[in-house]
Amino acid sequence: MSTERIKARALEIGFDLVGISEARPTLEAAFYPEWIELGFAGNMSYLKGRRGDMRSDPRSLLPSANSVISVGIVYNTQHPYSTDVDFNGQGWVSRYAWGEDYHHVLKRRLQALVDILHKDLGAFETKICVDTAPLLERAYAHRSGLGWIGHNTCLINQQLGSWLFLGEVLTSLSLECDNPAAFRCGSCTRCIEACPTDALVPTGELEGPAYALDSNKCISYWSIELKGSLPESARAMMGEHLFGCDICQDVCPWNRRAAVTKADEFQPRNALPNLEEVASMTPEEFDRCFGDTPVERTRYRGFLRNVAVAMGNSGKEQFLELLYRMTDSPDPVIVEHALWAIDTLKDKIAVSKS
């Protein structure tokens, strides 16, 4: 089977992009230890240590690897961006978390591709990777020609935009490689200027990435990865974000005419949750609503914490009663954030009436 036939098979399965690169360390791998050293990984210990070291070379995951097959699939749907929404008692869930957990979708399709390759080519070694594997997937997607890593640190494709899920098949097959995609952000800094927390910081690198994400300043990190209490300095900046943040992608010019998926798996189930409704959820109701979506990662406690903060930032007096009710929670983290939200909301109401 030719390399072009492998790509055709991937597209037939439902991937929107496919490219191939050599299974060796990338330029981005040289900057990764510095990113860790700068403390930009925050409390995400799984990005550090041995698993962090493994990310620089695919052969640490599959010693026989010769090639990396990188794939991309669009998850964007025909719904407004967060920067276009007038939040009226609602909270924002990041676009990628609207549908079925993408890990499951990608693994199913990657397994289908591997099964086809084994059927046509016989025995060889493979390893399927999604973003839970210690691999710098954007670096290999860039090297495989799928797109470039933008100033917002996302992979951007010239035709499709940046709303892409990425996956990889590491293989012992020696395949014809693609050329890396050209960098096309130019001097545009809209994502950097739009970030409400200044999380995109210049690196000073001449050959590596021009900007890096400081997770410690990122709304996505606060709302998803940071467990327990949120820093008080972060709470007001979270706005109505319940899970993740899309601002640096929403404002990107390459997403003005971004591709839209028709895949049922990625259609929104609860894209703009009503804050009153989700604040009253039991743990069982949370599981039923979000159990097979990426939102489940926050767990019930983290989600209710974020809901309390969003209600405090909303300026809506109607949420005071709910917030007082949340102070009866047996969970001290939920109580702490409900009390903060009550004080914040009262201040906002007082200012609006003065």
**Which residue range forms the structural domain that includes residue 145?**
3-77+99-215+259-266
CA 239 to each of CA 45, 167, 249, 262, 286: distance values in angstroms, whole numbers, following the listed order: 27, 31, 17, 30, 21
| Interatomic CA distance for residues 273 and 277, integer angstroms | 8
| 254 within a domain of the structure (yes/no) | no
Residue 341 lies in a domain: no
Mean pLDDT of 138-144: 96
The number of folded domains in the chain is: 1
Is residue 95 classed exposed, middle or buried when 0-12, 13-18 and 19+ CB atoms within 10 A define those classes? buried
Is there a domain that residue 321 lies in?
A: no
Q: Find the DSSP H helices in the chain.
A: 3-13, 27-37, 49-54, 102-121, 137-143, 190-194, 219-220, 232-235, 247-250, 275-279, 283-290, 299-314, 320-326, 332-353
Alpha carbons 180 and 143: distance in angstroms, whole number: 4
| Nearest CA-CA partner of 39 in 217, 214, 222 | 214
The 10s digit of each residue's pLDDT in 161-199 is: 999 999 999 999 999 999 999 999 999 999 999 999 999
Three-class SS string for 259-292?
CCCCCHHHCCCCCCCEHHHHHCCCHHHHHHHHCC
For 217-273, write each residue's pLDDT tens digit. 999 999 999 999 999 999 999 999 999 999 999 999 999 999 999 899 999 988 899
Is 280 part of a structural domain of the chain? no
246 tagged catalytic? no
What average pLDDT does range 121-148 have in this prediction? Answer: 94
| Residue 206 reports pLDDT greater than 60 | no
Q: Which residues contact 7 (CB under 8 A, 6 or more apart)?
A: 18, 19, 20
In a domain, 287, yes or no: no
> Is position 124 within any domain?
yes
Per-residue pLDDT at 31: 86
Residue 112 inside a domain? The answer is yes
Separation in Å, CA 221 to CA 46, 191, 240: 14, 17, 15
Q: Is residue 164 part of a domain?
A: yes
Q: 146-155, 187-196, 200-209: which has the minimum mean pLDDT?
A: 200-209
Judged against a pLDDT cut of 80, whether residue 290 lies above it is answered with yes
Tell me which DSSP letter residue 225 carries: I
pLDDT at 56: 79
d(CA 51, CA 161) in angstroms, rounded, equals: 30
For position 208, what pLDDT does the model report?
67
- Give the pLDDT confidence of 43-98 residue by residue, as tens digits: 999 888 766 667 778 999 999 999 999 999 999 999 999 999 988 999 999 999 99
- The arithmetic mean of pLDDT across residues 202-214, rounded, is 81
Marked catalytic residue, from 86, 101, 131, 198: 131
